Structures are given as structure tokens and as C-alpha cells.
Chain A
Amino acid sequence: MSRASLLGPIALLLTLASAGAPNAAADPVDDLLKDFAAQGASNFSAQAGERFWDHPVTDPKSGEVRRCSLCHSNDLRRSGKHATTGKVIEPLAPSVNPKRLSNRADIEKWLLRNCKWTLGRECTPQEKGDALVMIRSR
């Protein structure tokens, strides 16, 4: 409770600070990593993110094996394909698709939704941080 009540004003101060200096706007991934660290995660690594990315999880309801790479492929510089609808998913790597990792709300939405579908649970701050660091490096 007390930490949450402190975080509010700090976030507000940070927002005001970045608004005053638009060229130095905080990177949404850095922002999120700071939050994940505040939640107890540490030492984010692309190698850990890579292992997490290809880790198979069997869905108890359908029996299918799911993993991040199922839809996004292992080469993040290429497009993927939605497992159910077949719709093309634009590449995740910011090096070829600069729109990626540029909007904090979008990142949070997809991390929440896709962890729930793929793992059947929300991801831990450590898992999310590792994955983001890995995606950013591509």
C-alpha cells in the first residue's frame, strides 16, 4: 500500500520531467524494465529471453504445444503468423519494424494477452524483462 502511494507521485514527477525535455523522452522498454526491477526482477538478459521465447508449454485444454515462436517465429526480423487465424504478424524486431516497442500501453497489452494464451498464466516480471531485452536486441 505504502509503496503504491509513493510510486504515484514519482511517476508523475518523471512524466513532468520528460514532458519538459521532449528529446530525452524515456524509452518505454527502459521504463518497463525499471518497473520490473522495482517488482523484484534483476539482471535481464537476452540469452534468458531467448530460452524463454522457445520454451514449449502444453495447453491443458487443447493439448497443443504453444510457445512464443509459434506465432512470432524464431527470427524476429521476419513476419510471423497468428496460430488460429493465420493472419500475418509484422516482424517484432525494432531494427526492421521501428513501430515495435514504441508504445508502453501496447507492450503491456500484448505481454498480458499473449502470456495468458501461451503459458496459461501471466508472465513474471523477470520473464517479461528478459523477453523485452531480447526483442530489443534484434
Chain B
Amino acid sequence: MQGERVVVWDLPTRIFHWLLATSLLVEWLTQDDARYLDFHVFCGYLIGGLIAFRLVWGFVGTRWARFSSFAFGPFAALRYLRDLLHRRQARFVGHNPAGSWAIFIVLTLGTLSVLSGVAALGGEKQQGPLQGLLTFTQGDALREAHSVLAWTMLAVVALHILGVVVSSFSDRENLPAAMVRGRKRARAGEASVSLASNAAIALLVVLGGFAAWYFRGYFKAGSDVPYLPFVGPALAMDAQWQHECGSCHLDFHPSLLPARSWQAMLEEPDHFGEDLALDAKVVASLSSFADAHSAEHAETPTAWKIASRTPAASTPLRITELSYWKRRHAEVTDADWQRVKKVDCAGCHLDAELGTFEPGAIHIGKTSGNARKAGA
């Protein structure tokens, strides 16, 4: 193997590879944190676009980028892995059979992950292109499917990385560096492929334009108008509810507790240590507003989760007693609770007063919502 180094990977193939790798890393890091759901969703769209590009490039790209140059059968891939274990594997200028199957599997699972992710977003969060077309229950199931598909894909990625390391050592060729610089050792007389710079520039312009459009809200947002990546439905409000509840604390929207909780609270003369001395007419009017918009009406994804995750036998009197609330706030530290009291939802949820509690609207513990309001 004394051949010269020639260009094997064109620019679009290398850009595809490293953008996909970076996006998958971001997806993995943001998977379970509602604060970063907009980045997670953005990278999902990005992965979808990258895969679509790669499928086309597999037919019209340069020599080693074409599927026809690495159309190995599954048995060829297994044979290659077996040979790799015995360090007697054949050397390939383009993709080896095992690497080829990593590509096929990642393209397939990647596509399915993106589709199930968009569907979960539409059902579970009622956001994105499928908003309103799927139910919360379907969204819940699709999120499970999304999770299984994505973890399986990440497992294949891990095997791919392991294979690259082993092949690099046994072939004495730095394969990650080759995917950066594009050059690999080739047989004598093997020519470089074109860099396909124009296609690379077009790919970057389209992806950059999409990124700028997707994150345009961040450029417009000021300190007084926070940017909400996801805007929930406009919820019913009631002037009396806002006045009576909102004098002493956030006017928690009725969708944050089951109807039975509001009834129990309104019947109880002692309101968390205070006698509110409300007259019966006011109580009746508050009670009917609570009934009409309680969690059971599932007016928001949060309301649906609260209604469906609270055991029918329990009647929590505080939002912070909900098992759903506790699970969602398990990672908030004591230091954060020192800065922002639990009663002060608006301290972290920028849309607390709208009652929507959307993901992406959470900014943990910089200023209390009360302090921010006083400053405004």
C-alpha cells in the first residue's frame, strides 16, 4: 500500500458527515430537557434535511459518495467484521462493507427518528407541522417510539465509532482525519475525485438560511419581550379569577389542577393558613370558571399530562403536590429554589401568566417573576 494520497471524500460528503455527527450529539444532550426543545427540534429538521440531501447525493455525487460504490450485502459486512477481529481485513479506498451498513442503518433509523419526532411533537406538544392532527395519547406513544428508534441509532453510531477506531489502527490510516481532509491512500494511478465545491456551497447556504429563519425570534427578542420558541393556545381568562387569585400570587390557570382539587380548595375556609372571607357569590363564580377549564379539559399539553398522570383517588390541593409537577421539577436544585420560590412559577416560566407552560419558555432562576414584574 504505497499509493499516493488522493481526494476520496468530496466536500458535501464531509459536511454531511460532521453536521450529522454534531446534530446527533446535540439531540443526545438535549433529549430530556424541555428548556432546549427548540434546539432539539431544530437539529431534528436539520438531520431530516441532511439525510434527504445524502440520499440524492448517493446517486449524483462523486465516485465514492455514490451508493453504487459501496453497495455491499449484509454478509459482506459480517465477513468484514469477522476479518477485522482477526486483523486480516481487506482494505477499501471508499467505504468498507461494515461502514456501508452503518450508513444504511443510520440513514434508515435517522429518517424514522425524525418522522416519529415530528409526530410526537405534533401530538404530545401540539406544535410543529402535525399540530392538531394527532391526539395527546398518540403523541405519548409516538414519543416512546421516537425514543426507541433514536437510542437504537445511537447504539449503531457507537459501533461505527468503535469500528473506525479499530480499522484506523489496523489499516494504519487515520480514518477520522480522512473524513476531515478528504484524502486517503489509494492504489497507484487512482485519481482524486472532484471536491464538488458548488454543491457544498449550495448545501451550506440552504442549511444556514434555514437556521437563520428557524431562530429568527432570538434576534427580535428584547429584554422586556422574552422570546418564546413555542407559543401555546390562547387560554380562557376570567377577570374575577385574575383579580381574586392574582392579588396575592400568580393567578394559576384552572388547567393546572383537576376540577376536584379546585372544588375542595374553594370549599375549604382555610386557604393555606389564611381565611379569605370570600362571599358565596364570588366563590360560586370562581368555582364555575375552574370547572369549565380544569385540567380534565386538556386545553394544553401540560393540562392533559396533569389530568392523566394524577391518580383519580387523590385530590392534590397544591400544584406542587402533583406527581407530574414533582417529576418535572426533580432536577431543580435547592439553590435555585432559594432564588425563586415554588409559588413563583413566573420566576422561571416566561409564559406562566398565559397558563400554557410551554417547553422552551423556561429560564431557570435568574430573577424572580415577582421582581421582574416590579421592575417593569
Contacts and interface: CB of A to CB of B under 8 A. Distances in A.
Given A82-B248, A82-B249, A87 B370 contact: yes
A62 to B, nearest CB: 8
Contacts of A86: 341, 343-344, 368, 370
Nearest to B342: A85
B272 interface: yes
A117 B275 CA distance: 7
Interface in B232-271: 248-250
24 contacts: A62-B273, A79-B374, A82-B249, A84-B273, A84-B274, A85-B248, A86-B343, A86-B344, A86-B368, A87-B249, A87-B250, A87-B344, A88-B370, A88-B371, A88-B374, A113-B274, A113-B275, A113-B277, A116-B274, A116-B275, A116-B277, A117-B273, A117-B274, A117-B275
Contacts of B374: 79, 88
A84 to B, nearest CB: 7
Interface of B: 248-250, 272-277, 341, 343-344, 368, 370-371, 373-374
Q: Which of A81, A86, A87, A112 has the most CB of B within 10 A?
A: A87
A88 B370 CA distance: 6
B249 A112 contact: no
Contacts of B370: 81, 85-88
A116 B343 CA distance: 22
A61 B273 CA distance: 10
Nearest to B282: A109
A61 B275 CA distance: 14
Interface size band for A: 10 to 19
A18 to B, nearest CB: 23
Contact of B344 (A85, A109, A112): A85
A62 B272 CA distance: 13
A87 B277 contact: no
Nearest to B343: A85
A112 B274 CA distance: 11
Contacts of A116: 274-275, 277
A126 B37 CA distance: 58
A87 B341 CA distance: 10
Nearest to A82: B248
Contacts of A81: 370
Interface string A71-82: 000000001011
Contacts of B249: 82, 85, 87
A29 B376 CA distance: 30
Interface string A99-138: 0000000000100110011000000000000000000000
A87 B248 contact: yes
A61 B373 CA distance: 32
A109 B244 CA distance: 11
B274 A88 contact: no
Contact of A88 (B273, B277, B373): B373
A84 B274 CA distance: 10
B270 to A, nearest CB: 11
Contacts of B368: 86
B126 to A, nearest CB: 30
